[in-house]
Structure 1
């Protein structure tokens, strides 16, 4: 669930990890007036601005470390629900309100530095949508950095799609399309409703969280960037993200655009359709990179059934599979200008999600059983 440079050219953030901020977090957020004023009050769905022109939509709470230690029983191991390069995530419950939350405690030596922490607080304070995770508050006591989110009981999409144990329930076709459409709507909101647009930059299955009804929400906004405005076509930045999801032009040049997110979404959609990981070193060399493996198969409809996740056991609509693969193929085009806008992706996937597949009344498709391979246990 952590991130690392897409290529070896990514700069180290070690100095950010170890540096203690000289100013309070609140002061640093307030002093980020440039980015804040660009987003503040410009996003549909945010709270209305007050009469003096100032917006009150930064509604996140501040917590003390003592408060968050209390709701996790001093961060007991049985409250641990996830772990990654950034640190650990604990489930907690506030006694006074009964609210259940997820508390991300950043590791002092982890991948998420103070800058990324500030970005996440800023972004999730100002951006609100049903398909973005809700930030409840944060803690910046001394060198402690914690983020408090709404609790997502079903964990991440990765938990239900990749490297599943034999007794784990597989996602059916309808649920997969519902998740894909919802994740696309979250990206569309960032690209089209935010002004200036926001480039998410780290879309992957582990960053898509699920509520009790499998509604998806994008999480982990530490790498998000404000997109280009005016005559600018891109944002130049250090190459960061997760290997296998980065758009090739961004990985090569550091030039970030909205179409970089579209590519990442295409990879996630392929994972949803195939049940394969973006990068899987346990497979043969020709199949380790999901996009490289799938591209030749896009050209032959007779091979589409080879792309579908064997765990579906043929329980999917043939036309729906073709259409979903067509969307994925467009998203992972080598040339960014050939990729669709997220609004068009949302239109296509919303339609697919509305076409409910009933295996009892519709024929099963031929499916290829996968040869079991040994895979290492996944770490959160």
Structure 2
């Protein structure tokens, strides 16, 4: 099952490689801890530290279980060579300290980059294609007699980009399926996902399926194209998450169409019905030279499909990937993706 031996590391090494977990090396909070840049001599690494959660259900032993699961997953023969998976250099379980070290030089987390103007339209689509490819792999990897892998806690803070804007998934704290077949009685305190990304439909209906990951992908898609992220301040103030914001925009658009039905008929008669319609793409991204208005509408529609309330009507990740690969920006700049 496991292809290589992953060594245990002393906590002092993790502290040394991150300059004692300095603020200058801090990257981001993830659902169950923190991410840091690091360096071993001239070799760049990324360090992840688990901490006791203050806002999620937690009991002693939860993070130890998550660490064991991640080491098992990232050492699995079907995962070690996938470009969307990080390579583990080692792990730490010394005293009360829990962490892992990845052989990876991070540009930044997706959470930190989404709001920045420097992340271009092409780079944003590249992230979506790479993430969709990884999720499709997890959902279809052959590991009989087990079910497909399910991540179940997708979050913009759980995706790190390398310097070529390739996405890597860096947390598997709720992973199930695959080599983790029995999650009917979850060994960690029950958590249903990251705030801002929780699939209420699955929770309400008691379903556990890969369509939860499709929903999480849809929320990340909306975040990327609209330049919006769900923050801790949003959670505390009960502000709408990105999913609710995007669907609210969609409902507003539909209401305006109903009010303007006569105008719509005139547009149809004049041939304007071929113009692109509803989109939540941020205005600054619509000015990008690689942006195509029809892509904006298509990718918005894809996000709506992924986050639709009917769990079984959501597309598979293979269908999502196919939709992304048909975007004009991908066809025109395929060599850069």
- Report the TM-score, using the length of structure 1 for normalisation: 0.68
1:47-93 CA deviation, whole Å, 9 max, x = no partner? xxxxxxxxx51342221223323323433444333345533333222
- Displacement of 1:278 after TM fit? 5.1
Superposition map of 1:82-231 within 5 A: 82-84=28-30, 86-95=32-41, 98-108=42-52, 113-126=63-76, 127-128=79-80, 129-162=82-115, 168-195=116-143, 196=146, 197-226=148-177
Q: Which residue of 1 aligns with 2:270?
A: none
Q: CA contact under 8 A between 1:227 and 1:258: conserved in structure 2?
A: no
Structure 2 CA distance for aligned equivalents of residues 211 and 171 of structure 1: 13
Q: CA contact under 8 A between 1:157 and 1:206: conserved in structure 2?
A: yes
Q: CA contact under 8 A between 1:235 and 1:256: conserved in structure 2?
A: no
SS at 2:219 equivalent: helix
Superposition map of 1:1-380 within 5 A: 40=1, 56-84=2-30, 86-95=32-41, 98-108=42-52, 113-126=63-76, 127-128=79-80, 129-162=82-115, 168-195=116-143, 196=146, 197-226=148-177, 238-277=190-229, 280=234, 289-296=244-251, 304-305=278-279, 307-315=280-288, 316-352=291-327, 353-356=329-332
Structure 1 CA distance for aligned equivalents of residues 21 and 5 of structure 2: 25
- Displacement of 1:202 after TM fit? 0.9
226 and 106 in structure 1: CA distance in 2 versus 1, 3 angstrom threshold: same
- The CA RMSD measured in Å over matched residues stands at 3.2
62 and 288 in structure 1: CA distance in 2 versus 1, 3 angstrom threshold: closer
- Displacement of 1:344 after TM fit? 1.2
Structure 2 CA distance for aligned equivalents of residues 318 and 73 of structure 1: 46
143 and 277 in structure 1: CA distance in 2 versus 1, 3 angstrom threshold: closer
Q: Which residue of 2 aligns with 1:31?
A: none
Structure 2 CA distance for aligned equivalents of residues 229 and 86 of structure 1: 20
Q: Which residue of 1 aligns with 2:269?
A: none
- Displacement of 1:213 after TM fit? 0.7
Q: CA contact under 8 A between 2:219 and 2:242: conserved in structure 1?
A: no
Unaligned runs of 5+ in 1: 1-39, 41-55, 163-167, 358-380
178 and 235 in structure 1: CA distance in 2 versus 1, 3 angstrom threshold: farther
Q: Which moved more, 1:255-264 or 1:243-252?
A: 243-252
The answer to which structure has the higher helix fraction is 2
Structure 1 CA distance for aligned equivalents of residues 109 and 34 of structure 2: 14
Q: CA contact under 8 A between 1:297 and 1:304: conserved in structure 2?
A: no
Q: Which moved more, 1:246-255 or 1:272-281?
A: 272-281
287 and 205 in structure 1: CA distance in 2 versus 1, 3 angstrom threshold: closer
Structure 2 CA distance for aligned equivalents of residues 217 and 284 of structure 1: 28
State how many pairs are aligned: 293
248 and 227 in structure 1: CA distance in 2 versus 1, 3 angstrom threshold: farther
SS at 2:278 equivalent: helix
Structure 2 CA distance for aligned equivalents of residues 138 and 285 of structure 1: 37
Unaligned runs of 5+ in 2: 57-61, 258-274
Structure 1 CA distance for aligned equivalents of residues 142 and 252 of structure 2: 36
